[in-house]
Structure 1
Amino acid sequence: MGALTGQGVVVTGAGRGIGRALAVRAAQEGARVVVNDLDAATAQAVADEIGGTAVPGDVTAPDAMIDAATEALGRVDVFFANAGIDGAGGPDSLQAPDDVWDRVLDVNVMAHVRAARVLVPRWLADGAGGRFVVTASAAGLLTMIGSAPYSVTKHAAVGFAEWLSVTYGARGVDVHAICPQGVRTQMLEEAGGLQALLSRDSALEPEQVADATVAAIEEGRFLVLPHPEVAGYYAARATDTDRWLAGMRRLQQKVDEAGALG
């Protein structure tokens, strides 16, 4: 009997990539799974594959989706807030327009906040607790060369998950933050010249991320680090921030010279 066995699980952005892998693994663990994705066809395909229920919809307005998931499952015990977008890259993402920032913030941060607003009061009210799992990124711990909206919002996603754990962890709400580096998904395929940088410690398969997530849940660890090297980088950043930033600036110069963001 694992932590997900018999649980009512929702996975957002589950039509492909990490979300799909999480949904498949949850079903393998014996969970009852609701598959959410903006693309209704891919959500249905994954649901059919795992014997789950498809509830497509936009995660930035999650109330109706959560209500439909609750009706299908009886209760949402575990919520994987996985859906995310990368936003603007290019040689100068500082110039990304406000509407891009607004959309990336909406999906990568506020969608988590809005889902928690609905779920946490329900978990507290019935006394059974719940589990909230945010798919962030190593970019949320270390900073990301490239897209400013992505890096900033992933920091915010980790920060919100930490706040949620601090505030409600003693009241039965377990929280985890998934922070991988490169993963073989559509986002990595579309990273252009940054693929090599994102994969410098090897690009993982989405299934490996799902395995690491289940292991962290079983062990009660907040941070899910599918790339274990990230723990060392995170410690180095905290220990000597100026040295860390100097190293990142050197890396940025190499990227600039290679034209990877052009």
Structure 2
Amino acid sequence: MPDVVVVTGAARGIGRALAERFAREGWAVVAGDLDATALGDVAEATGAVAVAGDTSTDAGVRALVDTATARFGGVDVFVANAGVGTLAGLDASDEQWQQALEVNVLAHVRAARVLVPHWLERGRGRFVVTASAAGLLTMLGDAPYSVSKHAAVAFAEWLSATYRHRGIVVQAVCPQGVQTRMLEESGPLQALLTRDAVVTPDEVADAVWRALRTDAFYVLPHPEVAGYSAQRAAHPDEWLAGMNRLQQRLDHTPPVNPPVSPPGPAGHRDQESA
């Protein structure tokens, strides 16, 4: 039997690139997303098994894992990739906060609840979280996204610290700007997200594939993020002052490229940028 990977948020962007890369490498792929039509296109192009549904819910996660188990005997790697942004600060509604927490954090918790007991029985498993550089740094202009991505990294750290001696590998993918719809719809934040090089979803997928051989916790498609994180930890006041200077520039920047559509429903948007 081939190795088996489950990818959430697989209809487009990073998720689709991950499904395509694993399929090219000969893996059995189970792909999940709310967008059944786009997910069907991915399945047709890659041979993946498509499971449409809300992957942030317990039922959605169980449908993915049950399908992988019935078709292929289990799950070797689970990529918790689905994510959502809000482009809101203190004006974010309770509903926006709840959606960000459900999709960007609690979806990972629900997946781990289902997967970890099985992995402990067989002594191995791999949980990959598409977090964001925002989970190591911050995301100006999007409080729910920034907070939830920090929580996503923290949960991944906890999983690794708790279960690594029992054969479970946990990895956190933390890109900055990626050429996807989320970046295109980021409005005035585009200038900030493109200060460093923008990478393609395929480049992120390549970074993840390479990381499978190293078991490194952090997967950084933008290597400079390691330096930023070290600066933040060593000199927090200087780092915050620098971030505030960036915010001041945003405060005086007229809106450009406003979002062409509102954020999609939970589980629909794939994680794409910092």
Normalised by the length of structure 1, the TM-score is 0.94
Match of 2:265 in 1: none
Match of 1:139 in 2: 134
Match of 1:77 in 2: 76
Q: Which stretch shifts more, 112-121 or 48-57?
A: 48-57
Give the aligned residue type for 2:2.
G
Matches within 5 A, 1:18-57: 18-57=14-53
Give the aligned residue type for 1:78.
V
Contact 1:79 1:133 in 2 (8 A): yes
Give the counterpart of 2:239 among 241, 244, 253: 244
- Give 1:138 shift: 0.3
Q: Whose helix fraction is larger, Structure 1's or Structure 2's?
A: 1
Percent identical residues: 60
SS at match of 1:54: strand
Normalised by the length of structure 2, the TM-score is 0.90
Match of 2:215 in 1: 220
Contact 1:35 1:54 in 2 (8 A): yes
Q: Which stretches of structure 1, 4 residues or more, deviate above 3 A after TM superposition?
A: 259-262
Contact 1:184 1:206 in 2 (8 A): yes
Contact 2:6 2:64 in 1 (8 A): no
Give the counterpart of 2:101 among 99, 105, 113: 105
Give the aligned residue type for 1:156.
A
Give the counterpart of 1:175 among 165, 170, 180: 170
Which structure exhibits the higher relative contact order, with contacts defined as CA atoms closer than 8 Å and separated by 6 or more residues? 2
Structure 2: gaps (5+ residues): 259-274
Contact 1:176 1:224 in 2 (8 A): yes
Give the aligned residue type for 1:71.
A
Structure 1: gaps (5+ residues): none
- Give 1:259 shift: 3.4
**Are 2:210 and 1:210 aligned?**
no
Contact 1:10 1:79 in 2 (8 A): yes
C-alpha distance in 2, partners of 1:51/1:119?
Answer: 23
User: Cα deviations across residues 12-49 of structure 1 (Å, max 9, x unaligned)?
Assistant: 00000000001111111221101111111111211111
Match of 1:68 in 2: 67
Q: How many residues align?
A: 254
**Are 2:165 and 1:166 aligned?**
no
C-alpha distance in 2, partners of 1:156/1:219?
Answer: 24
